[in-house]
Amino acid sequence: MIEELWQQVLDLVSQLVIPDWGELINLLPVFMAGLAGLWLLRTVMRFASAGPTRRGKTRQKPAAPEGLHMPGPSFAPVFAAIGMGVLLFGLVLGTELLIVGLIIFVLSLLYWGREGLREYDHLVGAERLPVVVHPGPPAGVHMPGPSFRPILGALSMTVLFFGLVFGGWLLLAGVLFLASALLGWLADARGEYRKTVEADSTGHLENLPAPHYPTRLLGTFTVITVLAVLLTAGVLPPRDAEPPITGESPAPSGEGPGGGGPTIVAKDIKYDVKTLEVAAGAPFTIAFRNDDPPSVPHDVDLRSDSGEVLLDHPTINGGGSVVYDFDALTAGSYVLICSVHPFADMTATLTVK
Ligand SMILES: [Cu+2]
């Protein structure tokens, strides 16, 4: 009886001490929602207690400093938020809610736009007031001159990110592009520093002269990027007379050329065969062809059933082929595997008997 009770206590405790991580991870969104709710509650409470503190008997009305224009109160942001909320729920829960959310959102934006136009009309009406137009920033404020560097940086980052996904030459192009953009930026900063030093004696900080459109740099990198795309996609260099697959021996593990051993073809990061068989006690070869793009290397290594590396062959790039030599093996089961992509798709079982 006591033992049973103790067992139950243990079971209960074990749920806490050894939690079911899968279940806990499933609860993560609920946890996040809880956090968001707490945050919202805190915001509401702070909002309620914000504003001028009560001095004397009457609460003071909040007032902006003179010369500042504060927008009037508006429900438009609240409506838009509601519309956005319904829309997001619609994305999860289904089409009807999605359409309702979209309608609320668009209507609230139209309403907001109308409010904005009214405000504009109101300001235009005040045009006849004396207006002081300052040419440039107020005295004592220094604005940096115009620059193409941030745009170049963004463009090069784009190429770089595509390079991270598609690899190969595109990555190289992205790195080069980013490096040149950043170096240029650094040179500009150097120039600005010099101007600042000059300003110490002249008392006047001059901007660098406005830059020209970086047509040459952009042209160069457009060409490089296009070239990199073509190289990465395998369009260039043109492979001379790719041997057409004649379909004579479509058997996956059929006897291929090169030493009469079996053939493995890699395509889409996948071996075309899952099992191979060779005779025990005799050296043999495996002909290997890589049908992936040039930037995707593969190989065929030999490992024991327990994962020990027995033969580490060099990789070949896409479009290439090779005949790997194997020494005589004792009977048993071995693993053929690509060292670049050691996953199930690039693994085959070699049976030696
Ligand atoms: Cu591979």
DSSP string, 37-73: HHHHHHHHHHHHT-SSPP-SSSPPPP-PPTTPPPPPP
**CA of residue 313 to ligand 1 center, whole Å:** 12
The identity of residue 55, as a single letter, is: R
pLDDT-derived band at 129 (thresholds 50, 70, 90) equals low
Q: How far is the CA of 294 from the centre of ligand 1 (A)?
A: 12
pLDDT at 322: 92
250-265: pLDDT as tens digits: 444 444 444 568 899 9
User: Among 63-77, 93-107, 172-186, where is mean pLDDT lowest?
Assistant: 63-77
Q: How far out from the chain centre does Cα 206 lie?
A: 40
Residue type, 78: V
| pLDDT tens sequence across 30-65 | 999 999 999 999 999 988 887 666 666 666 666 777
CA of 292 to the centre of ligand 1 (A): 9
Rounded to the nearest angstrom, the distance between the alpha carbon of 281 and the centre of ligand 1 is 28
CA of 296 to the centre of ligand 1 (A): 7
Residues 296 and 315: their CA atoms lie apart, in Å, by 10
Distance 318 CA to ligand 1 centre (A): 10
Structure token digits, residue 68: 């500042």
343 Cα–ligand 1 center, Å: 9
Cα distance between residue 48 and residue 42, in whole Å: 10
Token readout for 35 is 């956090």
CA–CA separation, 16 and 6 (whole Å): 16
Please state, in angstroms and rounded to a whole number, the distance separating the CA atoms of residues 1 and 89. Answer: 51
pLDDT of residue 103: 94
Q: Average the pLDDT over 164-188 and give the result.
A: 90
Q: Of the given ranges (76-85, 203-212, 310-319), which has the lowest mean pLDDT?
A: 203-212
Q: pLDDT class for 248, splitting at 50, 70, 90?
A: very low
pLDDT at 285 over 80: yes
Count of Cβ atoms closer than 10 Å to residue 323 Cβ? 14
- What gap in Å lies between CA 189 and CA 144, rounded to an integer? 11
91 or 168: whose pLDDT is higher? 91
